[in-house]
Chains A and B, each alone.
Chain A
Amino acid sequence: MANEINLKREQHKESFVSGIIRQNPLFISVLGTCPALAVTKTLEASFGMGLLFTFVLVCSNVLISLLKKIIPEVIETPCYIVIIATFVTITKMFTNAFLPELYSTLGVFLSLLVVNCIVLGRAEAFANKNSVLDSLLDGLGNGIGYTLAICLIGLVREILGTGMLSIGKVFTFIPVYSLPILKAVDGSYDFSMSFFSNSAGGFIVLGLVLAVINAIEQHKKNKAKIALRNEMKKKLHEDDPKPVYQVKEAK
């Protein structure tokens, strides 16, 4: 009985943690790149997008997991599309009412969450086979992973592109504060490169980040390969007779 509970806890923990780093939806399985290139011009907008994405993902995962026994298998996909579209419409209305700056910054990409590959993919691959708690944790994990990923890209693009890290422009209840890094507030020095605020800059930043992550993965794999190979070498030579050292007599 205790074993079963432990197993379930492991499963819950696994479905939560795997979405954050090990199977990050943006960096590892390259999905959901539309918003990752378009709204990441500033850090705040990408954080807002990640938050709304998490909300939609968690809600749709939970509802689909609750209804998984009622939906007949023939019309799975239409039902998922309708459920996700409903939650996206709810999100749009709330955002338009409470955070109108965020709504006008995100524009069309808030509606494009309906056809986001991650949301549909998680619904089809995970939520219709697992329990409600697992789906909730999986949605939360994937959402947090995606938010971290696009915040990283947004951070790089904003610092290099505009030179200042500003908060308070989208979430208007925070006072506006700009942290000058590459560009002074009064314009005395200006090392920012506005190339990164353009579309081409977005492509390059995403490409470079993916290359760095690829390099890290390759390094890990090589290390694992070498360790495995050393182990096998040891096992092969286990049965050799141990060499007997002859002690030279000191003269």
Chain B
Amino acid sequence: MPLWLNWVLAILTLVILLTIFIVSFVLYKKTPPPKGCEHLGQSEENCSKCDQHGCHLNLYYNGKKDEKKTEPVFDKDLENKENKK
């Protein structure tokens, strides 16, 4: 098979696959979820309990999951440890 035909078919294959991917991706994003399921992944509690580290909704690796900065409570354990020392 002549070389130029080789190249054309190869590039055509890749372009077709890419088009299928992009079309299906956009269609998936645009279709609304069925009726009971709109807020499945959006609540923070649901997603922070799940440990899926690769999840794009997981707040941990998006860097937002910082420990809540509360006032330091006078921890009885720490006091006991200090007294023991």
Contacts and interface: CB of A to CB of B under 8 A. Distances in A.
Direct touching of A and B (C-beta under 8 Å): yes
A80 to B, nearest CB: 12
A224 to B, nearest CB: 10
Interface stretch (A70-78, A100-108, A208-216): A70-78
B21 A229 contact: no
Given A225-B78, A228-B72, A125 B54 contact: no
B26 interface: yes
Contacts of A228: 72
B53 A29 contact: yes
Interface string A75-103: 10110001000000000000000000000
B72 A229 contact: yes
Summarize B's interface: helix, strand, loop or mixed: loop
Contacts of B49: none
Interface size class of B (residues with CB under 8 A): 10 to 19
A31 interface: yes
A121 B61 contact: yes
Contacts of A222: 78
A166 to B, nearest CB: 33
A124 B22 CA distance: 17
Nearest to B51: A30
B67 to A, nearest CB: 9
B38 interface: no
Contact of A75 (B25, B56, B74, B78): B25
A117 interface: yes
B73 to A, nearest CB: 9
Interface of A: 29-31, 74-75, 77-78, 82, 117, 121, 124-125, 222, 225-226, 228-229, 232
State the 7 A-B residue pairs at the shortest beta-carbon distance, nearest first. A117-B54, A229-B72, A29-B61, A228-B72, A78-B22, A78-B25, A31-B53
